[in-house]
A = this chain, B = another copy of it.
């Protein structure tokens, strides 16, 4: 069975190099950048060449393979690879999939006398393939929750943000294929405009109709009664069901509850951080104010103005109707039902 999504492939391992689709240049240009060492990949993650929690995890896993290839012949190879892992872990703080993937890769180093390049590559490939499989499974599970209507999504939680197919967009793809969705409304998602640049592009590749809107218009759209679900991804879910995701998600969740619109989070279990009791334990990345003060490289705001630019916000569990994972669906998430899912009860 071919789990690869045909139209968009943001992360490719090509022999001894990692190829990343430069998501900053989309949709006007489709540029692949090649990486031969881990620090360069860490910088690419930081600079948002690649973004999206699962995609960051997969990318970091391949970067550890690059590190082992680069340093494997040296006596102190282990120290060098571990240093690269630390560098990768420091690239972005919020998405937990990054740390989850690096932990899996680190375990391959244990008890190894020589750099285990083959087993590291096998592990990175597994992380990649498992993510695509998880997305397809979540797509089925999430689509089953949807009866009919239009949906709103935020940022890009699609093939570009994952190994392929997508979390939120995976659910949307599956539900659209079953005729359950009329129009996908995509928040343009300031300041990086992932909705306008990435989600619209990705859905149009699959001939799924997409209508953009400014974040501020979502409440007005919901009041029209056309929207049945808000469907988003996540960068980290705490053990109690609090959901960290792209800034703007929390506002959507409040608006959804106000209008009786349901709120779904689609994320693999690698996004659930059982070490974080609640949102209070999730670090929120603050990014450069210039991302808001400038527009297309030009200063847009008055000189002297500053900006508050958190990359993520937290939606409390009580505003979440469903968390869809590859292991099953959690309705009205809380510490108990999340713990049960994670422990396989």
Q: Which of B27, B197, B292, B303 contacts A196 (CB 8 A)?
A: B292
A308 close to B197 (CB less than 8 A): no
| Among A36-44, A187-195, A325-333, the stretch in contact with B | A187-195
A212 close to B293 (CB less than 8 A): yes
* A220 in the interface (beta carbon within 8 A): yes
Q: Which of B303, B308, B314 contacts A217 (CB 8 A)?
A: B308
Shortest Cβ gap from A41 to chain B (Å): 27
Q: Which of B197, B215, B289, B305 contacts A301 (CB 8 A)?
A: B197
* A306 in the interface (beta carbon within 8 A): yes
Kindly report which residue of chain B lies nearest to residue A314, judged by CB atoms.
Answer: B220
| Among A48-56, A131-139, A246-254, the stretch in contact with B | A246-254
* A100 in the interface (beta carbon within 8 A): no
In the complex, what residues of B have CB within 8 A of residue A217's CB? 247-248, 308-310, 313
Q: Which of B215, B298, B307, B313 contacts A215 (CB 8 A)?
A: B215
A292 close to B219 (CB less than 8 A): no
Which residues of A pack against B, CB within 8 Å? 27-28, 154, 185, 187-191, 193, 196-197, 200-201, 204, 210-221, 223, 246-252, 254-255, 258, 289, 292-293, 295-296, 298-310, 313-314
* Cα distance, A190 to B212, chains bound together (Å): 12
Give 9 closest A-B pairs by Cβ, nearest first.
Answer: A216-B248, A201-B302, A219-B251, A200-B305, A220-B313, A190-B214, A212-B307, A27-B302, A196-B301
* Cα distance, A214 to B295, chains bound together (Å): 13
B214 close to A191 (CB less than 8 A): yes
A215 close to B212 (CB less than 8 A): no
* Cα distance, A36 to B106, chains bound together (Å): 74
In the complex, what residues of B have CB within 8 A of residue A223's CB? 250
* Cα distance, A90 to B306, chains bound together (Å): 38
B251 close to A251 (CB less than 8 A): yes
**Given known A295-B193, A296-B295, contact A213–B307 (CB-CB < 8 A):** yes
A215 close to B190 (CB less than 8 A): yes
Q: Which of B210, B214, B250 contacts A292 (CB 8 A)?
A: B214
Q: Which of B213, B221, B251 contacts A216 (CB 8 A)?
A: B251
In the complex, what residues of B have CB within 8 A of residue A249's CB? 216
Kindly report which residue of chain B lies nearest to residue A257, judged by CB atoms.
Answer: B258
**Given known A196-B292, A213-B292, A254-B255, contact A305–B204 (CB-CB < 8 A):** yes
A248 close to B215 (CB less than 8 A): yes
Q: Which of B258, B309, B313 contacts A254 (CB 8 A)?
A: B258
B201 close to A250 (CB less than 8 A): no
Shortest Cβ gap from A292 to chain B (Å): 5
B212 close to A305 (CB less than 8 A): yes
